[in-house]
Structure 1
Amino acid sequence: MNHNPEGWHMHRPYHNRIELKEVVSVISGYAFPGNEMGSSGSPIIKIKNIIPPMVDTTDVDRISEVFIASIHKLEKFRLKHKDILVAMTGATVGKIGRFPKTNEIFYLNQRVARVDLRNPAQADIDYIYYVLSQAQYTDQIFSLADGSAQANVSASQIGNIIIPLPPLREQRRIAHILGTLDDKIENNRKTAKTLEAMAQAIFQSWFVDFDPVRAKMAGESPESICKRLKLTPEILDLFPDRLVDSELGEIPDGWVVGTLGNVAENPRRGIRPQQINTETPYIALEHMPRRCIYLSEWGTGEELESNKFMFRKNEILFGKLRPYFHKVGVAPVNGVCSTDIVVIAPQSAYWLSFVLGHTSSDAFVVYTDSDSTGTKMPRTSWNRMAHYEIALPPESIAKVFDELVVPTVHQMVANVHESRTLADLRDTLLPKLISGDIRVPEAEHLIENIEG
């Protein structure tokens, strides 16, 4: 896709430039004591939780409710939906994230700044977010940091940066068009989560709970079973009508106890850095979200300095470093990955969905974590994974399950590529809209042409 088509009209850039503090307040978080934090209580957002463009609320430290109750005036440190947060300390000074919608009450920790709008008659908060999320401004905030041991930037220094400020109406139009692209990206992510949940529900029903077998054993009519479990009569006929004892407990009659290694393998395709093309997609652990098989982020092979593993599209990537982080996903492209990632491939194509169901399950992650080696940086291994015991169904059931789930996987991968195209377009339009090099009607026309 061409993001810089001929025919864009260049306009006179906006000349109204102001200090950020003229329209916003920049407030640092509260110094919550580390010795009061644990696994229960109110969640705290720290620098580690800022993962641009969002704020991760799944891996948080918590502060006891007793401590919260003992401190007065914590209200101003409570976070709300769409708050703009800025990292103030460390190597990631300047990184920006927006707080998502949540039902829990979250508090902001020290060394993270929140940008609050002071004058809604002069500035639009969504526009301010898009300005600050540009590399030139995150880099500018980083350049202001001082400190010999660790970079630090103050709230006042953030407030002193200069930003362009077009008329309020134009700010809102810019924010709207960029937000439209972000909304499409977010809808793709939500769709992927829904598709993933549907596939996991079928996997749980068929291969963990054995619902079709138990329903037959209970004497439920085939019509009722098919309606309740959303099966066709042909699929229901593939399941037996009784469970038998095994070393794993009860499993369907005719199934056998096996291991993941019976149906999957670890293709160790090592590659040296000098063999990697600079444009080759590169996936590291930081590109992999937790508890999500939808992998939408990756870098490139440029400047890689150590050996990597090659993977192929639709193979499974499992983060073996700190496996409790639950980083498992389907590769949306061919590429290379960190050696802290295990590449898993089905031994036959029709086992893909079955293998994915197991390797992305909570039970499998707990198993790999249970005897990981290393105290501070525990790691699991393919050898450990391959010995994971499972109930193996007949090939006929694995094939039917794969036929149901693979279209879901393909849709998720297609959504990944669409979202990256939309993100590229957004990132191309963003600085041009904010600088005034192009105007909103031209950008709208470009988006219409892309969608058409």
Structure 2
Amino acid sequence: MVGEWTQTTLEEVADKNGFGLVDGPFGSNLPASCYSEEGVPVIRGSNLTLGMGRFRADEFVFVSEATAKRLERSLCRPLDIVFTKKGTLGQTGLVPERGKYDLYVLSSNQMKLTVDRRLADPLFVYYFVSSPQSTAKIIRDSEATGVPKTNVTYLRDFPILLPPLPEQRSIAHILGSLDDKIELNRRMNETLEAMARALFKSWFVDFDPVRAKAEGRDPGLPKHIINLFPDSFEDSELGEIPKGWTVGTLGDVADHPRRGVQPNEMEATTPYIALEHMPRRCIALSEWDAADGLESNKFKFKKGEILFGKLRPYFHKVGIAPVDGICSTDIVVVTPRAQEWFGFVLGHVSSDAFVGHTNAGSTGTKMPRTSWGEMARYVVVIPPEDVAKAFTCQIRPSVEHIIMSIRESRTLTVLRDTLLPKLISGQLRVKDAERFMERAV
């Protein structure tokens, strides 16, 4: 079967009608002073991933349309493949076909490939260059002095093994369908989290049910929940709060269990979460490694507990542990003092206001850190326990669905990573891969 495949280079599969394989503009042509709050998005290293994350379509900076036109050579469009030229080598990205934008500009430290679709399938090429083998080769061949870097000349000569175009599309479809499901899970988790945040804000920040009752309006909640809320406010040191509620601190309803573990007590396969595994502004923690090889003390955590990144807290790394495991000592494990308070604690600890509090109280300049002591002092308006319990009951199904989706996506990721090297090398036929997927999924 491999005899039907062709050994070629990225330059050979690049589109010849324009700028098919180029790097970003010189830094002097795209200084930070060119950035604006809207316009044409700039693709930077933060939009790329190591592995098959495809593309992170957030945290963009923008340039004006006039600047983008001036940088025509460095424009990107859907299904272009982007590579890092300097910094975290091996990062790649596939510009989304149905994304929010249809035009982008490369930053100075990136390169892009526009595939000639008469010769190759862009998604197949993306999977090939994003595979562990290709990533390792890029890193191995890079200039290692100072900041790691490569260049577009190297990329032009980068080897790629191509099957016939129909088979490329079939392979891309198999791998792409797995990634599509992973992405669907991610988006669903994002939606569920947004709904939980909105409900928390309504109940415990804006006090909407109380205001509605005070004004004689229907709060739009089931009667048994409406009855839990008062219909008036009273004065406090924080201003008006619902009648019967009190002012306290996070430490009144939450705790930090310090369950230390030494290296000789760790099992090699135990899930390990470090700060680099925690996404920003997302409670769904979907990445972790194994404890094998760890040489310093860590903390234990249990499934469902809240993890808060205390190093540079402004990065807003907060999430729910999807498994039992151990974590870096730069992560604070937070638990409610009683499970009825889980949703209330999660809502506060993952809020912008709480992150701002921990950042303001951090110590250290280059590497600021917060502490559980600072976190516990955060002032909150505390409702009666039955209100906290009702909120936890409201969001618990969403939290359980998020954890279930994470575990499903982990299984799909393992399947994709198993199939990918065999498919792109010709070791596994498409029909065999399809049968394997039917049994595994």
| Residue 133 (structure 1) aligns with | 130
1:182 matches 2:179: yes
What is the 5 A alignment of 1:96-111?
96-100=92-96, 101-103=99-101, 106-111=104-109
Aligned counterpart in structure 2 of residue 288 of structure 1, from 269, 278, 292: 278
Is the 8 Å Cα contact of residues 23 and 108 (structure 2) preserved in structure 1? yes
Q: Deviations over 1:22-78 (max 9, x none)?
A: 102431111234552667466533334423324434445556x4xx74686313323
Give the match's secondary structure for 2:286: coil
1:266 matches 2:274: no
Is the 8 Å Cα contact of residues 185 and 422 (structure 1) preserved in structure 2? yes
Task: Go from structure 1 to structure 2 and tell me whether the alpha carbon gap of 1:99 and 1:277 turns closer, same or farther (over 3 Å shift).
Answer: farther
How far is the alpha carbon of 1:179 from its aligned partner?
Answer: 0.6
Q: Unaligned regions of 5+ residues in structure 1, if any? A: 1-10
1:44 matches 2:39: no
Give the match's secondary structure for 1:85: strand
Is the 8 Å Cα contact of residues 295 and 331 (structure 1) preserved in structure 2? yes
How far is the alpha carbon of 1:115 from its aligned partner?
Answer: 1.6
| Residue 120 (structure 1) aligns with | 117
What is the 5 A alignment of 1:25-424?
25-33=20-28, 34=31, 36=33, 40=37, 43-52=41-50, 53-60=53-60, 65=64, 69=66, 73-90=70-87, 92-100=88-96, 101-103=99-101, 106-117=104-115, 119-220=116-217, 224-226=218-220, 231-424=221-414
Identity %: 48
**Which piece of structure 1 moves more, 42-51 or 436-445?**
42-51
Is the 8 Å Cα contact of residues 123 and 168 (structure 1) preserved in structure 2? yes
Distance in 2 of aligned mates of 1:39 and 1:335: 43
Distance in 1 of aligned mates of 2:34 and 2:365: 21
Distance in 1 of aligned mates of 2:233 and 2:75: 52
Distance in 1 of aligned mates of 2:21 and 2:271: 37
How far is the alpha carbon of 1:200 from its aligned partner?
Answer: 1.0
How far is the alpha carbon of 1:147 from its aligned partner?
Answer: 4.8
How far is the alpha carbon of 1:12 from its aligned partner?
Answer: 5.0
Distance in 1 of aligned mates of 2:71 and 2:395: 47
Q: Deviations over 1:342-396 (max 9, x none)?
A: 1111111111111001111111111111232222222111111101111111111
Structure 2 length-normalised TM: 0.92
Distance in 1 of aligned mates of 2:120 and 2:128: 12
Is the 8 Å Cα contact of residues 90 and 130 (structure 2) preserved in structure 1? no
RMSD, aligned α-carbons: 2.1
Give the match's secondary structure for 2:114: strand
In structure 2, what residue type is equivalent to 1:206? W
Distance in 2 of aligned mates of 1:72 and 1:411: 45
Is the 8 Å Cα contact of residues 96 and 138 (structure 1) preserved in structure 2? no
Task: Go from structure 1 to structure 2 and tell me whether the alpha carbon gap of 1:307 and 1:59 turns closer, same or farther (over 3 Å shift).
Answer: farther
Which structure is richer in relative contact order (CA contacts within 8 A, separation 6 or more)? 1
Structure 1 length-normalised TM: 0.89
In structure 2, what residue type is equivalent to 1:29? G
Task: Go from structure 1 to structure 2 and tell me whether the alpha carbon gap of 1:214 and 1:105 turns closer, same or farther (over 3 Å shift).
Answer: farther
Q: How many residues align?
A: 429
